[in-house]
Chains A and B, each alone.
Chain A
Amino acid sequence: MSTTSLPTPTGQPTESRAAGRSGRAGDRLFSGATTISGIIVIGIVTLIGVFLIAQAIPALLRNNANFLTSREWSPGGDHPRFGILEFLWTTVTSSLIAMALAVPVGVGVALFITQYAPRWLRRPAANLVDLLAAVPSIVYGLWGLLTFRAVIRPFEQFLQQKFGWFPLFAPTPISGGTIFFIGIVLAIMILPIVTALSREVFDQTPAAHKEGALALGATHWEMIRTSVLPFGKPGVISASMLALGRALGETIAVTFLVSALAGGTPWTWSLFNGGETFASKIANNAAEFSNPNKTGAYIAAGLVLFVLTFVVNSIARVVIERRKAFSE
Chain B
Amino acid sequence: MSVSRIGAVSAIALAGALALSACATENPAPAGSTQGAGSSASAGNVDCFSGDLAAEGSTAQKNAIAQAIKSYQEACADATIDYNATGSGSGIKQFIAKQVAFAGSDSALKTTPKDGKVEAEEAKNACGSPAWNLPMAAGPIAIAYNVNGVDKLTLNGEVAAKIFNGQITTWNDPAIAALNKGVTLPSTPIKVYFRSDESGTTENFTKYLQAAAPSVWTADPGKQWTGKGEGKEKSAGVSAAVKSQDGGITYVEWSYAQQNQLHMAAIDTGSGPVELTGETAGKAIAAAKQVGTGNDLALKLDYGTKEAGVYPIVLVTYEIVCSKYADAEQGKKVKAFLKHYASADVQKSLEPLGYAPLPAEVLTKVDTAVDAIS
Bound-complex Cα distance A287 to B106 (A): 13
Interface residue? A74 (CB, 8 A): yes
Give the shortest distance, in Å, between A250 (CB) and chain B (any CB): 14
**8 Å CB interface, A265-298 against B:** 265, 274, 276, 280, 284-285, 287-291, 293-294
Q: Which of A77, A146, A290 contacts B89 (CB 8 A)?
A: A290
| A262 lies within 8 A of B90 (CB) | no
B59-73 near A? 1/0 per residue, CB < 8 Å: 100000000000000
Report the bound CA distance from A290 to B189 in whole Å. 37
Q: Do the beta carbons of B237 and A256 come within 8 Å of each other?
A: yes
Interface size range of chain B in the complex: 35 or more
Asked if B225 contacts A291 (CB within 8 A), the reply is no
Cα separation A291 to B93 with both chains bound (whole Å): 9
For B59, B87, B233, B248, the residue with the greatest tally of chain A CB atoms inside 10 Å of its CB is: B233
- Are B115 and A288 interface neighbours, CB within 8 A? no
Query: Which one, B21-29, B190-198, B358-366, is touching chain A?
Result: B190-198
Any A CB within 8 A of the CB of B300 = no
> Do residues A284 and B89 form an inter-chain contact, with CB atoms below 8 A?
no
Q: CB distance B86 to A287 under 8 Å?
A: yes
Name the contact of B194 in the complex, choosing from A78, A175, A262, A280 (C-beta under 8 A): A262
Q: How far is the CA of A146 from the CA of B239 in the complex (A)?
A: 12
Query: How far apart sit A84 and B114, CA to CA, in the bound complex (Å)?
Result: 24
| B224 proximity list for chain A (CB < 8 A) | 74, 76, 263
Q: In the complex, what residues of B have CB within 8 A of residue A259's CB?
A: 196, 230-232
Q: Taking the complex as formed, is A145 at the interface, i.e. its CB lies under 8 A from any CB of chain B?
A: yes
Chain B residues contacting A175 (CB-CB under 8 Å) are 191, 230, 241, 245, 248
A206 smallest CB distance to B (angstroms):
50
Collect the chain A residues with CB atoms within 8 Å of residue B116's CB: 78
Q: Is B214 part of the binding interface, using a Cβ–Cβ cutoff of 8 Å?
A: no
Q: How far is the CA of A74 from the CA of B230 in the complex (A)?
A: 17
- Residues of chain B with a CB closer than 8 A to A291's CB: 114-115, 117
Kindly list chain A residues whose C-beta atoms are within 8 Å of the C-beta of B86. Answer: 287
Q: What residues of A have a CB within 8 angstroms of the CB of B237 in the complex?
A: 256
Q: A260-B230, A261-B230, A287-B86 are in contact. List 12 more A-B contacts (CB 8 A).
A: A76-B114, A149-B244, A175-B230, A176-B232, A176-B241, A262-B226, A263-B224, A287-B87, A287-B197, A288-B89, A290-B93, A293-B115
What are 16 A-B residue pairs whose CB atoms fall within 8 Å in the complex?
A173-B189, A175-B241, A259-B231, A260-B232, A261-B230, A261-B231, A262-B225, A262-B230, A274-B231, A276-B196, A284-B233, A284-B234, A285-B198, A288-B90, A288-B197, A290-B90
